[in-house]
Amino acid sequence: MSMPMLQVSLDRCPAYGAPGLSALVGELLQGAGCRPTPGTRVLVKPNLISAADAGLAATHPAVVRAVCEYLLAHGCRVQVGDSPAFGTGRLVARKVGIVAALRDLPVSLVELDRPRAVALSFGERIGISAVALESELLVNVPKCKVHVQMRLSLAVKNCFGCVAGMRKPLAHARYGEQGTRFESMLLDILAALPAMVHLIDGITAMHVRGPMGGQPFALGLLGASASAVALDTALATVLGVTPEESAIWQESLRRGIPGSRLEQLDFPRLHPRDFAAAGFQVPGVLRPVTFNPLQLARGACKRLLARLG
């Protein structure tokens, strides 16, 4: 029996101020199967990596607002939250403009804290926020950007933000050196989370360097799917990245996860070939995934200072 095709809805959006942005986001979410019933507890999980590079590294406030508007129209109880690399989710949300964008909407900003130990496939455990685990629906809203350790940061990588606080850099230190444990951990986290839908902000992508400190690339794309792996396969194809260049994609293929092959995808709107990404630059030589003790200490100090600030 052949495997059913996984839908990935891709479409063009030229700018964050485009008049049809909110309607398009709603159409893409609906096409991805996001039809929640009234009263559903939903966590919207943008990329709030840091208040630095606020205009580019984080999911754009207009996209986050459009997602929240769609969910509120369905009568959902909506929370927005992340666990940033530095500072608190509320602090970063305020500095990148998300708090202002949502001020008139009945949504709450939450911290992805209260870690709950979840078993990983290689015998270890990771602390995932109970806020994420206890939501009835998680809408993952990643930013399309490059990454100096993973080459791309898309839907699967954005779920790493559901790991609470300093457990993220600790995971880099513990699982970054040995084989494929780090990318395996990312896919294990994805599998542990509740029902999900994924909508990627690729209107202005980040290239050359990332996940912070990169340069803007006018990709003009929004995309959605019920499968993070399928959405990542589609976006990597748009950007001209091969499985050999992406450790997460390689691990998805090794596991045989549905959506990790382009021929398993159905594109009801636009196809990856309909987007022009010539000139999009990914990091050539990647940095090691692991963090040494000095990096961990520096990161802990930065996180503390960001909280105090």
Domains and CATH numbers, the chain: 6-302 (3.40.50)
Query: Average pLDDT of 182-195?
Result: 96
- The token pair at 19 is 């008049």
Q: How far is CA 156 from the centre of its chain?
A: 6
For residue range 237-249, list pLDDT tens digits in order: 999 999 999 999 9
Other Cβ atoms less than 10 A from the Cβ of 282: the count is: 21
For residue range 239-282, list pLDDT tens digits in order: 999 999 999 999 999 999 999 999 999 999 999 999 999 999 99
Q: How many degrees, rounded to 5, is the angle at CA 215 between CA 213 and CA 218? A: 145
What is the model's pLDDT at position 305?
A: 47
For residue range 81-114, list pLDDT tens digits in order: 999 877 788 999 999 999 999 999 999 999 999 9
Query: Average pLDDT of 203-232?
Result: 97
Work out the percent of the chain whose per-residue pLDDT is above 70. Answer: 91
Which residue is listed with tokens 């806020």?
A: 131
Query: Average pLDDT of 213-232?
Result: 98
Work out the pLDDT band at 293, boundaries 50, 70, 90: low
| pTM score | 0.93
Q: For residue 298, which amino acid is it?
A: R
In angstroms, the CA 153 to CA 5 distance is 24
Which residue is listed with tokens 């495997």?
A: 3
What is the model's pLDDT at position 87?
A: 77
Q: Is the pLDDT of residue 298 over 70?
A: no
Q: What is the rounded average pLDDT for all residues in the chain? A: 91
What is the model's pLDDT at position 296?
A: 46
Among residues 87, 96, 47, 98, which one has the least CA distance to residue 210? 47
For residue range 34-82, list pLDDT tens digits in order: 999 999 999 999 999 987 766 799 999 999 999 999 999 999 999 999 9
Other Cβ atoms less than 10 A from the Cβ of 170: the count is: 17
